Chains A and B, each alone.
Chain A
Amino acid sequence: MSFHTLTVAGLADGLASGQFSSRELTQYFLDRIEQHDSALNSYITVTPEQALAAADAADQTRAAGDAGPLTGVPMAHKDIFCTKGVLTTCGSKMLGNFVAPYDATVVRQLAAAGVVMLGKTNMDEFAMGSSNETSYFGPVKNPWGVDAGLVPGGSSGGSVAAVAGGLAPFATGTDTGGSIRQPAALTNLTGLKPTYGRCSRYGMIAFASSLDQAGPITRTAEDAAIVLQAMAGFDPADSTSVDVPVPDYRAGLDAPLAGRKLGLPKEFLAEGLDDGTRAALEAALEIYRQQGAEIVEVSMPNMHLSVPTYYVVAPAEASSNLARYDGVRYGHRAEGVESLEALYKRSRGEGFGREVQRRIMVGTYVLSAGYYDAYYLKAQQVRQLIADDFSRAFEEVDAIIGPTTQGPAFALGEKTDDPVAMYLNDIYTIAANLAGLPALSMPAGLVDGKPVGVQLIGKAFDETGILNLAHQFQSLTDHHVARAEGF
């Protein structure tokens, strides 16, 4: 049986009806990883013994009649989440030897829901990148173009490659400026970045604290609803998590769309958007119209400031968050140093890759005396203007719709020498992080055989609304069913 072609919902049904056991499933996916991951490099760490033990435990739970929808379903965690007793590298040489002594809240919650962790997925170093090329553990290949050397997007590149390649039924990701949605779009997956504060950040290694948010990477919106159900919730260990009730996400999937208003920001259609992606977006708009939804043009006049604002705020916070990696207590420590200053300089110089160093320098600069007001403070003010743009739009519409990226996946090495071109990958996704809003990318078709996505942005804590929109779209289209050749 080709378990890897089933959705999470399908696996849950099969497990529930006793068609197969978690152990069978788990062994199946471990075999697939063994077979295919040398081509994809989607995992940094695979944990077979632990996975099989968890699978057996899940089967026993099910036998005892205590199973939930995720009990026994295999999955992978992005290597940014701390996992007790398991290597947690964050894609960096700096943490190349770091075994976390505790589980992230999201990891703990998913474990409590019964999932079986297969391993930890590759990622851009400290989640800084849009192509998974900054990983210390080597780039990840996009299953949609292994031979062509296509990037899977980033920073959750390993998670999307594992799911798109059928090496995990679903995976966790994190999204600071688009790191779930952009790679999901480039690999024909559904990726959801929840509202800031919806999922706990405790144990999720910080990149930019005010922007980071964990979310599910799945094939379908229904799967995203099932997984988010287990990930979401208030955590007293994260002061920025928000204590609002978690609704039943799956229950909201089937609501009819008639009368729903979708806002299309005219700024999203400006130059830079490639024709194929634009056509895919327009086709999606047509589907929604047929469902009785209304497409309304809205204006987000400060949208063009998203990328520059982001590249002040995120590096500033990163430069601070990464100060703890000093070679003193854990992680990489330079050998043979003769002074404290040399220990810092060499440990950090050796432990961090170039992109991370670049962002630390930018962040240090914008926070330094004399520049703080002009950069960091100004960026925070602009951030508020961008959030205000959304608030205004949401007075008229129920959700925002637009492209996820400017175009489909590019080739490895194509943009590595041009950081600004790389940064523009996130031009459509960053605004939702700056405003803290939930946003989702869903498969919208192929352009020259390569997937592109459409993005839905909802009101704060209205994950239900965008999951409903995506699920309805997926029940009328089969873009999300398309699989990369050979996987």
Chain B
Amino acid sequence: MEWEVVIGLEVHVQLQTQSKIFSGAATAYGAEPNTQACAVDLGLPGVLPVLNADAVRMAVKFGLAVGAEIAPRCVFARKHYFYPDLPKGYQISQYELPIVANGTLDIEVDGQTKTIGITRAHLEEDAGKSIHEGFGDGSGIDLNRAGTPLVEIVSEPDIRSAAEAVAYLKKLHSLVRYLEICDGNMQEGSFRCDANVSIRPKGSDTFGTRTETKNLNSFRFVEKAINHEIERQIDVIESGGEVVQETRLFNTQTGETRAMRSKEEANDYRYFPDPDLLPVVTTESDIIGIRSTMPELPDAKRDRFVEQYALSEYDAGVLTSSRELADYYEQVVEYTGTVNAKLAANWVMGDLAASLNAEGLDIADSKVDAKALAGLVMRIADDTISGKIAKDVFVAMWAGEGDADAIIEAKGLKQITDPDALGKILDEVIASNPAQLEQYRGGKDKLFGYFVGQAMKATKGKANPAEVNRLLKEKLNA
């Protein structure tokens, strides 16, 4: 039987507010356990939550970016369950009236554009962390994370493969960073995903029973977990079994998922509107104000890059995949001029990207800044050096040996373009290869490349290739 995969994703995006969603405690990651938890975060008797207006603005920003409806009135609700890292015995979340509903996000997979529906996005507080190692028979609780603002983004079950799921997540990841509402650090849990996966016979219009795999914190894990879950479900059904609705955990060591709790064990969360918080009212003028603070979004930027810099869709897509990369590229072009935009793009996506990758650096930490890279591009553009020599210059720049001009000067890499100087070198090359000259003149055209190579060798690669070609043709055919 042919199976169709149905995937819906719930993504938890940690908002990069200064303080927590309902208290004044700081949100910075990595502090000593329980040093960033105030009375409100600890759930002490008598404390009350006060909503952080920045968290609301960030959620609205996201909603506007995915073309969603912003609720004129949204409500916080309490979601109850007992767990030691949940101090109040309930999580303040949103249930019936979320702040964002009915948005869409376009993804590209195999050159095809597909629209994924976003059912809703709601604000909620994060729980603390339970630490099960290093406490003997007990567990440790760190409440620094308790009360950190999250937006939970719930997709429609529109996703049909692990590859689509990853494309959706990458797009979302890029978007929240563009919006500067999330630092996107997946290792620290700032952006994490639960995957709802089910399968059904191809052509069926009812959904199969789904499982939910929790807390996937890398694109690779999402892909592996979904593919594992698809195979597992197909195996279960094809061997006559039934998929059980349950929550599963992904084991990053084995690449497999395993059952955590079944629906029967699931909590009755007993949601009800939180009486400590007033409904959040967002007016048209609030929305206009927030819209005015929105940056150019990835899709719009990509289209502009194609238009303004005459780049291919592909190049524009790569360069706009993150806001920082796009900004870097535009800084380079500011120095080189739009006429060199394609050359600049090649260098940003080529040697620069490769060096960053090799050292696992972000563009922000690049050892060659935009101005320096532009300096190199300009020396190629004005024929001071060839593209090939430029690669060596770039390596030197990356190693901190100075800017392009200094390195070209110090290493004597300036390209030889003077026809007289080149002419003398070529004459020597021709003179010292009489046999080849004879064969060439006898009709063996392919030997032209041999002479070019000899010329480059003689100049240690500094000869201007175009000039070498022109002069060689004159001399050989004379």
Contacts and interface: CB of A to CB of B under 8 A. Distances in A.
A376 B272 contact: yes
Contacts of B44: 82, 100-102, 330
Given A324-B87, A364-B270, A367-B270, A240 B275 contact: yes
B50 A82 contact: no
Interface stretch (A159-167, A179-187, A197-205): A197-205
Interface residues of B, number: 28
Contacts of A104: 46
Contacts of A322: 89
A239 B90 contact: no
Contact of B50 (A81, A209, A237, A316): A237
A372 B47 contact: no
Q: Name the prevailing secondary structure of the B interface residues.
A: loop
A323 B80 contact: yes
A320 B82 contact: no
A368 interface: yes
Contact of A369 (B89, B141, B268): B268
Contacts of A239: 48-51, 276-278
Contact of A368 (B88, B90, B268): B268
A104 B49 CA distance: 14
A329 B87 contact: yes
B43 interface: yes
Contacts of A202: 46-48
Interface in B369-418: none
A88 interface: yes
B12 interface: no
Contacts of A240: 48, 275-278
A87 to B, nearest CB: 12
B458 interface: no
A101 B39 contact: yes
Contact of A100 (B46, B80, B87): B46
B51 to A, nearest CB: 7
Interface in B268-288: 268, 270-272, 275-278
A95 interface: yes
Contacts of B42: 329
Nearest to A317: B275
Nearest to B51: A239
Contacts of B48: 201-202, 237-240
Contact of A329 (B43, B80, B270): B43
Contacts of A81: 46
B462 interface: no
B157 interface: no
25 contacts: A88-B45, A100-B44, A100-B46, A202-B47, A203-B46, A204-B46, A205-B45, A208-B275, A238-B50, A239-B276, A316-B272, A317-B275, A320-B80, A320-B270, A320-B272, A323-B82, A323-B88, A323-B90, A324-B88, A324-B89, A328-B87, A364-B270, A367-B272, A372-B270, A372-B272
Interface of A: 81-82, 88, 90, 95, 98, 100-102, 104, 201-206, 208-210, 236-240, 316-317, 319-320, 322-324, 326, 328-330, 340, 344, 364, 367-369, 372, 376
Given A317-B275, A329-B42, A372-B271, 12 more contacts: A82-B46, A101-B39, A102-B39, A203-B46, A208-B275, A238-B48, A239-B51, A320-B90, A323-B89, A367-B272, A368-B268, A369-B270
